[in-house]
Structure 1
Amino acid sequence: MKYSMKWDEWLAESRIGPFPAAIVMVAAYLALQTVILSILATWAGTGVGVDDAEQLIYLPYLWAGYGGSQPPLYTWINWLAAQLFGTNIFTLKLVKYSVLFLAACSVFAAMRRFGYTKATAAAAMLGLFTIPQIAWESQRALSHSVAVVGFCALLLLAMANLIERRSVIAYALFGLATAAAILAKYNDVFLVLALVAAVLSLRELRGAILDPKFAISVAVAILVLAPTTYWSLMHPADLLARGEKFGIDLQQRRMTAAATGAGKFIMATFNFAVLPVLVSALAFALTGFRFSERHPKAPTREVLLWRTLALGLAMLATLVLATGVTEVKARWLVPVLVILPLAMAAYMERLSPRGRDA
């Protein structure tokens, strides 16, 4: 246990050259995955999965939108990488793990910008890898869902920067991050709405949104989204191509559909959150933490994370019940539940000293 604590302290507090040790460790892991999986896929002749195959089809083209109901940002990034490294499996892996590295760095930087310690920022960043959809599914098969993780984390960093600085550049960057998140996956709009609503609900922070300069964010987001929005309006069949995956049956009774959708939503949330929660509970248990003790009130920065999480889940649940959706997959909740490891790390810091050990 003592050895583990020393390793944890080094990982959280030390630097390797100019970079935090935790960032370097994640970079090394992702670089290793990029190389090893590219070699294995080529050597074993396994090729690529459905999602990566779709990317290979679109790689020669730089369009404002693509078929399959998917937004274009991830394909744009693959197109750019292909200009440098060619159209091959290595390019696909490089993009995927670079976007995951963007997520890790953005989470670390956002937590530091919110005023948390290096240890808490490292715990939040590494906590991303307790999420099955990130630790396994995103590396095994997914494409656009990887972009969700990367650009939702970047959106959170942009908001943290906006709250701290409130400069013209900060507002412009938040607008750009908002557009990037939506162009990564359309359901990222739920994180945008939940994050803005959470900030507005907190007296200490709402001035950042009520500031007239917030119009800059809105204008930048609209400008960046305009080409793809126009393309989508001109190609409605492509935009709605995979609508059947939501399991909406107009012949089904409304109450029956709502009950089915609610059950699937609860199960998807459970499947997403169970591992991060169990890992955190184990960490608390190993440090001998007692929840019965009196603890400090949550600071605004922590409330923001929990409130964003709660509002986002409430919006998604309302949509499921209102539209008759009967199929909900855990990965569709990534834009909101990606906040969970960050909120739990913030909670741990507040419950020092045992919480910090956890």
Structure 2
Amino acid sequence: MRSPNAVIALFGAYFLLQVVVRQIIPPALRIDEAQQILFSQWLALGYDAQPPLYNWYQQAVFALLGTSMATLAFAKNLILFLTFAVFVKTAERVLEDKRLVAVAAMALFVIPQVFWQAQRDLTHTAMFMLTFSLLLYCSIRLLQRPTTMGYLLVGLIAGLGMLSKYNFALALPAVLFAVMLHPQGRSRIFDRRFLLTIAVSIIVFLPHIFWLIDNLAFASEVTLKRMAEDAPESRALQIGRGLGRFIAGSLIIIAIPTALLALASKGKLTRSATHSNPWLRFFLHYFIAIATLMAIVILMTTMTELRDRWLLPLLLPFPILAALFLGQRLADIQEFAVRFLPVPLIMLALIPVAMLLAQPLTAARGRASSSNYDWQAFQRHIAEKEGISPSVIVTPDWPSGGNLRFVFPQVPVATTIYNDYDPPFKITDEHPALLVWTGDDDSVAELSQWVEGQLNLKVKTPTRHLVDLPHFYPIKDRAVRYNYAVVTPNDLLK
């Protein structure tokens, strides 16, 4: 409890264990994992509705360590570990009693979107969490000790944050507001070196801005649709629903840590604050700014859908705020910490077990999931039973595309979604084009059009084949339907 470095080491061991766990559970790639494998085929200034920082990072890991489930899991868990490490170091800078550093770190872990969602998926959100943690740490460090390097680092992290997720743009003014109201804040902001911060952040983000200008509709279409899901016709109702979703999403995130902290401190808050803590005010000002900014955004855009994972990084400092509050009012911090820490520590031990059991238990209940698809079985069917060695694989969605690329690592895989990837290929009798999709729909025409666009040749409608294969964990009376069609030179018309 008294060693923040020991807390960091504990989380290091935990996330290494999670890398091992990912090797044991079904090898079907989840949505974000599949996207990383698919995007690793080409380097671009932007890809879709998310900024490209995590994609670039994942490509660098693949380039250094190879493409495998181990490197995929390692990349993700390294980001989560670094987030906790920076979070601990941030808490250490503002909390006088180091036992509360452990409390704050464990309070962060028990947030459901952290201990479950972020470890199962959420790549871009995980990168947002890391860059925002770094922004907080470096901003606090700059307030405590201003250096030229400190200003440069804040600018670099601000630029990288904007490359991690677009709603990082909400975090920047909120942190700036909290800094401005800090006793040393104005002198730091009006220091001429703050211009270096602004310049570096713009330089880092600038290349992606050029891509965003040319692809604004493509980058925003999906997000705007999600933000307006189930919107009522009345503008007042839209605003009301948006504000309600913001409040509800925030409560979902902070509910469990708040409940555990309250139970552990019950009857222990026997003294009043002896002095005004500038760091407590710093984090309060940050959350006031976030709430105000979110209200303004909802009023201006009338968004009606706010998912809790979008809010998670913005609410990341809540455990530190709670620890600062408790540090001023607890009569016996040792007793409080001893009462609080067992539950998070038990969860730390049980979450890997839950992840191991989640998929087989889901299958045993008869529920199907794309995470339980057996893409290796499909690869064996194509390569061994059918004897097909494709020159290119085309599919209509990125989850299928990423999984196909993973099991056919030497074959370029394209989707009809991302038209900026034009892999070189040549259709021959030995190496035809393979069109693949899942489900009952007929996508032959759509996928054939992609081939036509690449080759500037007409494609005769190829024959649709299908094969039903069991799930990785078999489900009684259920199978996965894989559809495929083969385009050979005989199917090409000039």
Same fold, TM-score > 0.5, yes or no:
yes
Look up the equivalent residue of 2:26 and give its one-letter code: A
Inter-partner Cα distance in structure 2 for 1:249 and 1:136: 27
1:131-146 to 2 correspondence within 5 Å? 131-146=111-126
Inter-partner Cα distance in structure 2 for 1:153 and 1:351: 26
> Are residues 1:157 and 2:142 paired?
no
Corresponding residue for 1:276?
257
Look up the equivalent residue of 2:2 and give its one-letter code: E
* SS in structure 1 of the partner of residue 268 of structure 2: coil
Asked if 2 retains the 8 angstrom alpha-carbon contact of 1:144 and 1:184, the reply is yes
* SS in structure 1 of the partner of residue 41 of structure 2: coil
1:242-261 to 2 correspondence within 5 Å? 242=222, 243-247=224-228, 252-261=233-242
> For the structure 1 residues 130 and 249, does the alpha-carbon distance in structure 2 shift closer, same or farther, using more than 3 Å as the test?
closer
1:178-189 to 2 correspondence within 5 Å? 178-189=158-169
Inter-partner Cα distance in structure 1 for 2:299 and 2:265: 36
Corresponding residue to 1:289 among 246, 265, 268? 268
Deviation at 1:41, TM superposition (A): 3.0
Inter-partner Cα distance in structure 1 for 2:109 and 2:261: 12
Structure 1 stretches of at least 4 aligned residues deviating more than 4 Å after TM superposition = 248-251
Corresponding residue for 1:322?
300
> Are residues 1:340 and 2:318 paired?
yes
Inter-partner Cα distance in structure 2 for 1:249 and 1:278: 31
Post-superposition Cα deviations, 1:78-122, rounded to whole Å, max 9, x if no partner, equal: 001111222222222111111111111111112223363432222
Look up the equivalent residue of 2:298 and give its one-letter code: V
Inter-partner Cα distance in structure 2 for 1:325 and 1:58: 29
Corresponding residue for 2:30?
49
Inter-partner Cα distance in structure 1 for 2:140 and 2:73: 30
Asked if 2 retains the 8 angstrom alpha-carbon contact of 1:302 and 1:347, the reply is yes
Look up the equivalent residue of 2:251 and give its one-letter code: F
Corresponding residue to 1:307 among 280, 285, 308? 285
* SS in structure 2 of the partner of residue 258 of structure 1: helix
Corresponding residue to 1:83 among 46, 55, 63? 63
Post-superposition Cα deviations, 1:312-335, rounded to whole Å, max 9, x if no partner, equal: 122112211221101111111123
TM-score, with normalisation over the residues of structure 1? 0.88
> Are residues 1:105 and 2:92 paired?
no
TM-score, with normalisation over the residues of structure 2? 0.65
Most deviating of 69-78 and 344-353: 344-353
1:163-178 to 2 correspondence within 5 Å? 163-178=143-158
Corresponding residue for 1:3?
none
Most deviating of 215-224 and 269-278: 269-278
Inter-partner Cα distance in structure 1 for 2:97 and 2:43: 42
Q: Which has the higher strand share?
A: 2
* SS in structure 2 of the partner of residue 186 of structure 1: coil
* SS in structure 1 of the partner of residue 109 of structure 2: helix
Deviation at 1:169, TM superposition (A): 0.4
> For the structure 1 residues 250 and 345, does the alpha-carbon distance in structure 2 shift closer, same or farther, using more than 3 Å as the test?
closer
Corresponding residue to 1:264 among 219, 222, 245? 245
Q: Which runs of 5+ in 2 are unaligned?
A: 337-494
* SS in structure 2 of the partner of residue 290 of structure 1: coil
Inter-partner Cα distance in structure 1 for 2:5 and 2:232: 56
Inter-partner Cα distance in structure 2 for 1:160 and 1:65: 31
Look up the equivalent residue of 2:109 and give its one-letter code: F
Post-superposition Cα deviations, 1:145-194, rounded to whole Å, max 9, x if no partner, equal: 11121111111111112112211100000001111111111101211110
Inter-partner Cα distance in structure 1 for 2:335 and 2:55: 41
Asked if 2 retains the 8 angstrom alpha-carbon contact of 1:105 and 1:125, the reply is no
Deviation at 1:248, TM superposition (A): 6.4
Corresponding residue for 1:33?
18
Corresponding residue for 2:2?
13
Most deviating of 109-118 and 194-203: 109-118
Deviation at 1:204, TM superposition (A): 3.5
Inter-partner Cα distance in structure 1 for 2:269 and 2:158: 40
Q: Which has the higher helix share?
A: 1
Look up the equivalent residue of 2:21 and give its one-letter code: I
Inter-partner Cα distance in structure 1 for 2:6 and 2:118: 24
* SS in structure 1 of the partner of residue 43 of structure 2: coil
Query: Please, what is the CA RMSD of the aligned residues?
Result: 1.9
Q: Percent identity?
A: 28
Post-superposition Cα deviations, 1:26-70, rounded to whole Å, max 9, x if no partner, equal: 10001001111223233xxxx111111111110122221111x10
* SS in structure 2 of the partner of residue 240 of structure 1: helix
Corresponding residue for 2:176?
196
Asked if 1 retains the 8 angstrom alpha-carbon contact of 2:231 and 2:304, the reply is no
Look up the equivalent residue of 2:136 and give its one-letter code: L
Deviation at 1:206, TM superposition (A): 2.3
Asked if 2 retains the 8 angstrom alpha-carbon contact of 1:66 and 1:238, the reply is no
Inter-partner Cα distance in structure 2 for 1:297 and 1:245: 46
* SS in structure 1 of the partner of residue 64 of structure 2: helix
Asked if 2 retains the 8 angstrom alpha-carbon contact of 1:65 and 1:232, the reply is yes
Inter-partner Cα distance in structure 1 for 2:331 and 2:18: 35
> Are residues 1:65 and 2:46 paired?
yes
Asked if 2 retains the 8 angstrom alpha-carbon contact of 1:99 and 1:146, the reply is yes
